[in-house]
């Protein structure tokens, strides 16, 4: 019989970055307040936490609508035994954050995750400060606090400013309002069918002209909509690729299941990463 | 009549990073010693230098065989009026570089470009040092020199160590020997046919199931081999993509020319980035 602590029935969700990161925000939005959190320094550690059972699920960024794929997440998904069991689209609003009392003209450099710096490139050029890459958005806010920096700022979420008791000098500083990050929820099993699902898979094609075309044909002829295709190096041999595909439908739907079976005749290897309820945009 | 300096007949090649960068090495290998160099701080400045005529060509990294696409290069190619006129594959051998007299046990942190740090991840974990992202490999070697750092190292090329008179503590520290970076040469026009060519293009598909499949079909039915497909966000609307395709053949070859013409009926927009001699290996 299970005799854990009072918290033991809560789900623990692992994510990359410090408290106040966008991944934590995505997990909160997905599950509501009744979850436990496990911040991890790297994406690899998020996967390891779920594999080992220390966390019940992981919330990992896979794609940003401006900057594109999070390559490391794709590579970890390919290598892992975990399944994708959910997705969530987060509207990313960046804030320029400093210690209390710092004025914008005092700011000489700005710390943040390289993707966040890239998303605010024009804003940073306008105020004329040096971008300094750091491992995490919320971590860069915490760095300001810990070191008491008076000539530096961080780019992070409103939530990060609140958690670390810092001030917000400017809000929504991202160059484009079309700034969404798509997160995947990973766990030991995928999700049962709901009727509005997506399926993620990865495959490598045979070394023949038209091999990718033939592979995609198994979906096209069944009118299965592909929402995303991403190629990543296999790392086994230069210029050979894994293709990651997201499609509409559940792997247990008849047409998807038939397509996935037929796909095997056009691929050297293929793996279903999981089926899960489609996010509301 | 042209009355320039004695160097005026040399081609000037722009590249991102400091002297001693891998891009400079690629340019040297491609052209030999008889060229002028224009180091630029960012990839965007490389494109601007060629557009303005300050440089005759630019050598830009587009893809690494382990880390994948250089996203910024794809986005700049899509937006630019320049053409791709050549390609070169460089075998990347990273060195651990320090100031003279520094021992490996003194090294607490290692500076380099994020892709180089990623390519040496296992080596860095083994020696237990903190990776610090910096804008350029050769630039991180120069940083050590300029600041006289005795507790830090850089990851850069042998050539960078020689240029800045630094010592090499370890060589070929990359995690995998399959470490190649593919560079594209960009200029105001592409290359005439040589019989062994490639063509790069970018297109967006109509919003219909099977649209990408139909677009790829124009190449498959002519047995035109695709060597690469890469998707990048359009940035106009979330979750819509530009597809970058490399194929074997020159845009003036009859079958390629017909395929590119037919492609227009399956795409919302398409642009030929250029045809150029295929790199060896």
Residue A1 resides in a domain: no
- A243 and A209 share one domain: yes
Q: Is B238 within 8 Å of A67 when comparing Cβ atoms?
A: no
Note whether B66 contacts A225, CB cutoff 8 Å.
no
Nearest to B227 among A216, A219, A239 (CB): A239
ipTM for this model: 0.87
Whole-structure pTM value: 0.89
Residue of A nearest to B66 (CA): A235
For the four alpha carbons of B213, B215, B218 and B219, in that order, the dihedral sign comes to negative
Q: Is A199 in the active site? A: no
Contact assignment for B220 to A236 by CB distance below 8 Å? no
* Residue B192 belongs to a domain: no
Rounded mean pLDDT, B261-266: 95
Residue B78 scores a pLDDT above 70? yes
pLDDT band at B101 (very low <50, low <70, confident <90, very high): very high
Instruction: CATH number of the domain at A49, please.
Output: 3.40.190.10
A5 lies in a domain? no
Query: Active-site residue B203, yes or no?
Result: no
- DSSP of B3-50, one letter per residue? ---GGGGSEEEEEESSTT-HHHHHHHHHH-S-EEEEEESSHHHHHHHH
Model confidence at A18: pLDDT above 80: yes
Report the CATH number that the domain containing residue B224 is assigned in CATH.
Answer: 3.30.70.260
Range of the domain at B28: 10-91+179-187
* Closest-CA distance of chain A to residue B218, Å: 10
For residue A57, being part of any structural domain is answered with yes
pLDDT over 60 (residue B2): no
Cβ-defined contact of B231 to A229 (cutoff 8 Å): yes
A69 and A183 in a single domain? The answer is yes
Chain B residues whose CB is inside 8 A of the A226 CB are 209, 212
pLDDT at res. B4: 40
Which residues in chain B are closer than 8 Å to A133, comparing Cβ atoms? Answer: 114, 133
Q: pLDDT tens digit string along B17-72?
A: 889 999 999 999 999 878 899 999 889 999 999 999 999 999 999 999 988 999 99
Average pLDDT over residues A216-225: 95
Number of domains in chain A: 3
């Amino acid at each position: 019989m299970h005799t854990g602590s009072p918290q033991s029935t809560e789900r623990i969700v692992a994510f990359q970055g410090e408290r106040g990161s966008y991944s934590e925000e995505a997990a909160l939005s997905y599950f509501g307040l009744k979850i436990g959190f496990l911040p991890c320094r790297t994406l690899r550690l998020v996967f390891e936490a779920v594999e080992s059972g220390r966390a019940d699920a992981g919330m990992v960024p896979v794609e940003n609508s401006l900057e594109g794929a999070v390559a490391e997440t794709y590579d970890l998904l390919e290598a892992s035994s975990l399944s994708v069991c959910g997705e969530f689209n987060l509207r990313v609003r960046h804030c320029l954050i400093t210690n209390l009392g710092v004025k914008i003209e005092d700011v000489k450099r700005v710390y943040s995750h390289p993707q966040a710096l890239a998303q605010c490139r024009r804003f940073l050029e306008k105020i004329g400060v040096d971008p300094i890459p750091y491992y995490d958005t919320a971590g860069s806010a915490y760095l300001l606090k810990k070191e008491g920096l008076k000539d530096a700022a961080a780019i992070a979420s409103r939530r990060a400013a609140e958690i670390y008791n810092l001030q917000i000098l400017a809000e929504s500083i991202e160059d484009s309002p079309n700034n969404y990050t798509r997160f995947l929820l990973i766990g030991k099993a995928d999700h049962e069918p709901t009727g509005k699902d997506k399926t993620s898979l990865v495959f490598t094609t045979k070394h023949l002209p038209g091999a990718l075309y033939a592979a995609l044909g198994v979906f096209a002829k069944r009118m299965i909509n592909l929402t995303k295709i991403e190629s990543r190096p296999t790392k086994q041999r230069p210029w050979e690729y894994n293709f990651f595909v997201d499609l509409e439908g559940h792997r247990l739907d008849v047409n998807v299941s038939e397509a996935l079976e037929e796909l095997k005749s056009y691929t050297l290897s293929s793996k279903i990463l999981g089926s899960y309820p489609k996010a509301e945009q």
